[in-house]
A and B are shown apart, each in its own frame.
Chain A
Amino acid sequence: EVQLVESGGGLEKPGRSLRLSCTASGFTFGDYAMSWFRQAPGKGLEWVGFIRSKAYGGTTEYAASVKGRFTISRDDSKSIAYLQMNSLKTEDTAVYYCTSTHYYDSSGEVYFQHWGQGTLVTVSS
């Protein structure tokens, strides 16, 4: 059974940093791209970014709203994906989800297969 467990959320002040982790099990982690999403209070799902598998260079793509502040990385030996969030803003307050991601090697498209339960990040002074 695929399991994705996010951790590292909590309360942080604006301008500070926070690192989220997503621990995966039940599938061959290194074969999959991994993604992060978020849902702010009362809003819809927002894609944050994804990281390709090493077979496709382990490169990343990000939403414009977080590009330059957030970084996704992965440790295939531990089956963990990370979301490093720097220069936090109050508008980053949200539940953050990680997902396993199917990557179309022919076109670069993706879709999101399995989702974790999420971890809450609150940015407030």
Chain B
Amino acid sequence: QSVLTQPPSVSGAPGQRVTISCTGSSSNIGAGYDVHWYQHLPGTAPKLLIYGNSNRPSGVPDRFSGSKSGTSASLAISGLQSEDEAAYYCQSYDSSLSVVFGGGTKLTVL
């Protein structure tokens, strides 16, 4: 049972926009800690996608965007492409538990 809750799966057609939610609590996201997102393609190293709620590392397309409000955060992917098919994880910090993760969301591009 992950501390941060993500939907197990989402899907969308090429070109569409999808969002992935990440729900925490008052001891992590709601306490003001930042949320970060990672992309993990099978057989490859995971990759930092969004840091500090809404910042993209260099090289990450602006199709990826992050936001945070209250005890939740969201990752939005617009202009969906087949290479976006991957698992996506949110991560934050918890005042009691230290690093906390979501269980991951599998994105399928139809």
> A and B: partners?
yes
Q: Which residue of the partner chain A has the closest CB to B50?
A: A111
In the complex where A45-B46, A45-B89, A118-B45 touch, is A112 in contact with B38 (Cβ < 8 A)?
A: yes
- Interface membership of B61, Cβ < 8 A: no
- Across-interface contacts of A115 in B (CB, < 8 A): 45-48
- Which size bracket describes the interface of A in this complex? 20 to 34
Which one of B15-23, B68-76, B77-85, B97-105 contacts A?
B97-105
Q: From DSSP, what is the main secondary structure of chain A's interface residues? A: strand
A48 to chain B, nearest CB (A): 9
Other-chain contact of B57, A46, A108, A113 (Cβ < 8 Å): A113
- Interface membership of B51, Cβ < 8 A: yes
Count how many chain B residues have C-beta atoms less than 8 Å from C-beta atoms of the other chain: 27
- Interface membership of B40, Cβ < 8 A: yes
- Across-interface contacts of B46 in A (CB, < 8 A): 37, 45, 97, 112, 115
Chain A residues at the B interface, C-beta cutoff of 8 Å: 35, 37, 44-47, 50, 61, 63-64, 97, 102, 104, 107-118
- What are some 13 contacts across the A-B interface (CB < 8 A)? A44-B87, A44-B101, A45-B40, A47-B100, A61-B99, A109-B33, A111-B34, A111-B52, A112-B36, A113-B51, A114-B48, A115-B48, A116-B45
